[in-house]
Amino acid sequence: MKSTLTKFSKLAIAISIGAALTVNAAHAEGEQYFPLQSYRIGPYAAGGSGFFGGFIDYLQYVNLKDGGVNGVKLTWSECETEYVVEKGVECYERLKQGLNGAPAAATNPLSVGIAYATLDRSTADKLPLITINHGRTDSTDGSVFPYVFPLQLNPYSEVSAIINYIGTQSGGLEKLKGKKIVTLYHGSPYGKETNPILELLAKKYGFKLTLLEVPHPGNEQQSQWLNIRRLKPDWVILRGWGVMNPVALKTAQKTGFPADHIIGNIWSNSEDDAAPAGNAAKGFIAITTHPSGTDFQVLQDIKKYVVDAQKGNLEDPKRFGTVYYNLGVVNGILNVEAVRVAQNKYGKRPLTGEEVRWGFENIKLDDKRLAELGALGLVQPLTLSCADHEGGGAVRFQQWDGSQWHVISDWVQADRELLRPIIEKSSHQYAKEKGITPRDCAKES
Amino acid sequence: MSFFFEVLLGGLLAGVMYSLVAIGFVLIYKASGVFNFAQGSMVLFAALTFVSLLERGISFWLAFVLTLLAMVALAWTIERWVLRKLVNRPPITLFMATLGLSYIIEGLAQSLWGAQVHGLDLGINDEPFEFQGMLLSQFDIFAACVAGVLVLVLSVFFNKTRTGIALRAVADDQLAALAVGIKLEKLWLIVWTVAGFVGLVAGLLWGARLGVQFSLSLVVLKALPVLIIGGFTSISGSIVGGLIIGASEKLAEVFLGAYIGGGIENWFPYMLAMLFLLVRPTGIFGERQIERV
């Protein structure tokens, strides 16, 4: 933000001496812009401030350590959405043109609602829309959704990996037959998105599935948990958001359900979800695509170059290395990597959204590259393509000990072969409704 | 059958928690005829202030007293800069003012103390215990006792003290109350402070259950049907309304939810409240307004 303000001041001075065009041209040569539809106030501010804090700190780190990407400085500005869809769209429109001549690389709203509302605009404006760990599942199919990237994990992969984990815990997927699984889901399109896949998996593996809805915001769940007490399930999958998560854990304790048989999804996996539940959260298991912690090399470097230099974005330094913060760092790594990959093709200069999209589609993060980035163990190996905008589809499981998370599993892969035809059916249906001709990914290079 | 009673009892105890928030509304409405939309924000402000002081190493009771002082300061500011300027304005103007206040207080709370989620441990064990085959929550029973004491104290205050009676007079007719020498400003300050105190108690109990976070301000959504059923002017009505809403929403969710799709807890209390409105517009304990033509 400071860097953005500095540039803004420079521009103002330049305009006053009548050299605006020259300065704009200079910016265009030297900077790549990230428009940030952030949310730091409102009901979901805890998630927003952690995520965007991590994202900004990573961009700052790249600037301070390497002077940007191949000499192209990264710049950004924030627009407060409060997680409100209309404000998110307004911010998109305001920021999409870039800043002081620096072109926009991609948008990262971290909101299902805003992502849905700006999906068509992003495609029309040729500006990548990044929905890391969330968003429309069928946008995994890049032939229909060329500008949308549900990086790392789409919602279908998420539940598939959870069922695979439960299968492993039960002694094999065939042992799932006859087991009882309850899914407690947030009463919203996000919460309901995975229900058809869970039903499909229940049919495939023979477990008995019960779906229980918790009305938004989820601050009262007595009846759902009494139902769970009556059903006596083997496992409960918690597909929560915000306040729903600690309340679920507290109410589970009140009704005698063990926390170590509750598995939280990707939006039930932060410190802010478990800590407010106090003792009730001890033993709670949740998935993650990015462990919390500060031991990773990239986190140590951010600390050295950014945080210790008093240039960190977090108001509360204790949040450094938390789940939301680390997700922001991971998101930063993937965005910057896309710019770097695209520069190798288009030249070491600020890129258009269309060029950055090519970069995203050609990201290849193997262990060697992750080690170079200092992110081995923090980010899963990821290979994206025209056809596959998700790339990973694996999660690890972590358990809350009362004060912090501990990773308790290796990467557990979703059954992507099973999911792919369902994704394609949905994306082709979308293409038909919108009159889109899918790209031929075989011809993309 | 024991499951039915378990759901019923759980619902009644949850209803008491709704009543705690509803009481704050009743206090201000009773004394000034204003529907204070900012009550939820006051709950958030109080809980966030308390927990933030606690996290800075201040002892429980000192944090409680300091938060109470902050609520007095808030009440004074509201009375001095908002209500005093709007004396004798139509109720809708005052309502709109509290709507604005709600957003200001929410923003202020987050600006002052940050947007993080805080855990709050009041030292009350929430492990369930078994009674006649039913699991009961110690925390919920504690909350019910707190609500009971609060109702008792407030009833005595309103019915037996000079200030309480003066507050009721103000609610009946502000102009007449002024004419007989009642100091409106002082009374409004008192009642907003008491509402702040109730907000603090509600905030601590709800905060211990939900975590202290922005969503605390949304618990008012649970209090509105309680007010419609219990009446806007009766503290006892808040309790009865809370019990009715709590029990009926839980029974409906568990026993009807499966047939009509589940997740009905949000709208079912409002449907029930609407039915009450049709039959008894002032609620069970509400005072019927009789005006001379």
pLDDT per position as a tens digit, A376-428:
999 999 999 999 999 989 999 999 999 999 999 999 999 999 999 999 999 99
Please report the pLDDT score of residue A21 as a whole number: 36
> Residue A8 above 60 pLDDT?
no
Q: Where are the alpha helices (DSSP H) in A147-188?
A: 155-170
The nearest alpha carbon in chain A to B139 belongs to: A254
Whether B279 maps to a domain, the answer reads: no
Residue B180: per-residue pLDDT? 84
Distance of CA B155 to the CA centre of its chain: 15
- Judged by a CB distance cut-off of 8 A, whether residue B133 touches chain A is no
Query: Is B93 near chain A, with CB under 8 Å?
Result: no
Q: Is B210 helix (H, G, I), strand (E, B) or coil?
A: helix
In a domain, B115, yes or no: yes
Q: Over chain B, what is the mean pLDDT? A: 88
Residues from chain B that touch A219, judged by Cβ atoms under 8 A, are 206, 210, 215, 218-219, 222
Q: For a pLDDT cut of 90, what percent of chain B falls above it?
A: 45
Nearest to A276 among B115, B119, B254 (CB): B119
Q: A288, A308 in Cβ contact below 8 A?
A: no
What is the pLDDT at residue A210?
96
In chain B, what percentage of residues exceed pLDDT 70?
97
B-chain residues within 8 Å CB-CB of A276?
117-120, 210-213
Classify residue B177: in a domain, yes or no.
Answer: yes
Task: Using CB atoms within 10 Å of the CB of residue A100, give its burial: 0 to 12 exposed, 13 to 18 middle, 19+ buried.
Answer: buried
Q: Does the beta-carbon distance from A220 to B7 stay under 8 Å?
A: no
CB-based contact A204:A175 (threshold 8 Å)? no
For A91-118, write each residue's pLDDT tens digit.
999 999 999 999 999 999 999 889 999 9
**A290-313: per-residue pLDDT in tens?**
999 999 999 999 999 999 999 999
Name the amino acid, one letter, at A127.
L
CB-nearest to A246 from B140, B211, B265 is B211
CA–CA distance, A234 with A68 (Å, rounded to integer): 50
Structural domain tally of chain B?
1
Q: Which of A48, A226, A256 lies nearest to residue B7, judging by beta carbons? A: A226
Mean pLDDT, range B228-241, rounded to an integer? 90
| B51 within some domain | yes
Q: Is a pLDDT exceeding 60 seen at residue B95?
A: yes
pLDDT beyond 60 at A202: yes
Which residues of chain B are within 8 Å of residue A280 when distances are taken between CB atoms? 126
* Structure confidence at residue B210 (pLDDT): 85
Q: CB neighbours (10 Å) of residue B229?
A: 28
Q: How far is A80 from chain B (nearest CA, A)?
A: 13
Q: Is the pLDDT of residue A219 over 90?
A: no
Which residue in B11, B119, B257 is closest to A275 by CB distance?
B119
Q: Which domain holds residue B160?
A: 2-120+134-215
For chain A, what is the mean pLDDT? 91
CA distance A410 to A395: 8
Report phi then psi at B136, rounded to 5.
Answer: -120, 145
In chain A, what are the domains?
2-153+292-383 (3.40.50.2300), 155-288+397-416 (3.40.50.2300)
**Residues on A contacting B at a C-beta cutoff of 8 Å:** 40-46, 48-49, 187, 211-217, 219-220, 222-224, 226-227, 229-230, 242-243, 246-247, 250, 253-256, 272, 275-280, 315-316, 319
pLDDT attached to residue A268: 96
User: Of B66 and A13, which is predicted with more confidence?
Assistant: B66
Chain B partners within 8 Å of A277 (Cβ)? 119, 211
Q: Please indicate, yes or no, if residue B176 is contained in any of the structural domains.
A: yes
Confirm or reject contact between B116 and chain A (CB < 8 A).
Answer: yes
pLDDT of residue A2 exceeding 60, the answer is: no
Distance CA B153, CA A319 (A): 42
User: Does the structure show a pLDDT above 70 at B100?
Assistant: yes
Say which residues have a Cβ less than 8 Å from residue B1's Cβ, sequence separation at least 6: none
pLDDT band for position A23 (50/70/90)? very low
B115 touches chain A (CB under 8 A): yes
- Which residue in this structure is represented by tokens 């568990």? B254
Average confidence (pLDDT) over A72-84? 95
User: How many beta-carbon pairs under 8 angstroms link A with B?
Assistant: 120
Select the residue from A254, A319, A325, A400 to test the B interface by mutation, using most B Cβ atoms within 10 A: A254
The CA distance from A213 to B213, in Å, is 22
DSSP-H helix ranges across A209-305: 222-231, 244-254, 271-274, 297-302
Q: Which residue, A135, A118, A131, A146, is CA-closest to A385?
A: A146
Q: What is the pLDDT of residue B266?
A: 84
Whether residues A226 and B261 touch (CB distance < 8 A) is answered with no
In a domain, B102, yes or no: yes
- Subunit contact B210:A216, Cβ cutoff 8 A: no
Q: Would you call A250 and B262 a contact, using CB atoms and an 8 Å cutoff?
A: no
* Integer Rg of chain B from CA: 19
How confident is the model over B68-75, as a mean pLDDT? 94
B240-258 mean pLDDT: 91
Does B209 score more than 50 pLDDT?
Answer: yes
Q: Give B119 to chain A, closest Cα distance, Å.
A: 4
pLDDT of B289 reads 65
Quote the tokens at residue A212. Answer: 């229980």
In the predicted model, is pLDDT for residue A241 greater than 50? yes
User: If we measure between CA atoms, which residue out of A402, A396, A43, A408 comes closest to residue A249?
Assistant: A402
Q: Which residues pair with A319 in a beta bridge?
A: none
Confirm whether B237 is domain-assigned: no
| Residue predicted with more confidence, B140 or A25 | B140
Q: Given an 8 Å threshold on Cβ–Cβ distance, is A219 in contact with B218?
A: yes
B234 lies in a domain? no
How far is residue B167's CA from residue A149's CA, in Å, rounded to a whole number? 60
pLDDT in tens, B112-171: 998 788 989 998 877 788 888 788 888 889 999 998 899 889 888 888 898 888 887 887
Highest mean pLDDT among A213-227, A384-398, B89-103, B230-244: A384-398
Residues of B in contact with A256 (CB under 8 A): 128, 135
**Best residue in A219, A224, A323 to probe B by mutation, most B CBs within 10 Å?**
A219
- Facing residue for A243 by CB, picked from B120, B210, B264: B210
Chain B closest CA to A259's CA: distance in Å?
A: 13
Give the burial string for B173-199 (b: 16+ CB within 10 Å, else e): ebeebeeeebebeebbbbbbbbbbbbb
Is the pLDDT at A6 greater than 70? The verdict is: no
- B91 interfacial to chain A (CB closer than 8 Å): no
Distance from CA of B38 to the nearest CA of A (A): 15
Chain A residues whose CB is inside 8 A of the B212 CB are 276
* Average of per-residue pLDDT across B213-234: 89
Contact between A351 and A343 (Cβ < 8 Å):
yes
